[in-house]
């Protein structure tokens, strides 16, 4: 069974890059997008809902503060490689800031997104989903 990523790589003749050479902000860039796509997918698959409500639910889960809270629970469960990626992302010099987040939340969120990007680009989808699930459960418990 061919995955959509395998098909994408074939159709566009994409090589498997050395992810370790990628900037943590590049990893965070793709991680931000894929994390939001997974959140939207989870929300949509829970049942039909008004788009405005979906947007509010998704926004609450993808904002820097939520990602920061999630990563504080997830970090002890990271592998050595994930921890290294997280720290590179968290410590990266970003030229943008979050509109509605503290600097600490924004930096931790960038680290979280870098891990999501790393897992996505290395095709570790099950691991990414497991971490997202663990993080979402922690957010729910913290309500």
Catalytic residues, which ones?
32
DSSP state of 102: -
Rounded distance between C-alpha atoms, residue 49 and residue 139, angstroms: 21
The conformational region for residue 74 under phi > 0 = left, psi -120 to 50 = alpha, else beta, is alpha
Rounded distance between C-alpha atoms, residue 69 and residue 60, angstroms: 12
Q: What angle do CA 136, 81, 75 make, to 5 degrees?
A: 35
CB 131 within 8 A of CB 77: yes
């Amino acid at each position: 069974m061919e995955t959509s990523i395998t098909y994408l790589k074939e159709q566009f003749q994409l090589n498997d890059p050395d992810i370790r050479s990628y900037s943590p902000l590049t990893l965070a860039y793709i991680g931000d997008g894929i994390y939001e796509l997974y959140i939207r997918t989870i929300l949509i698959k829970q049942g039909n809902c008004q788009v405005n409500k979906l947007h509010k639910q998704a926004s609450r889960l993808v904002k820097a503060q939520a990602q920061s809270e999630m990563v504080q629970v997830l970090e002890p469960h990271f592998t050595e490689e994930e921890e290294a990626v997280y720290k590179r992302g968290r410590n990266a010099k970003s030229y943008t800031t979050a509109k509605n987040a503290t600097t600490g939340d924004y930096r931790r969120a960038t680290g979280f997104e870098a891990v999501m990007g790393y897992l996505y680009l290395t095709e570790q989808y099950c691991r990414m989903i497991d971490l997202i699930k663990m993080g979402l459960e922690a957010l729910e418990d913290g309500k």
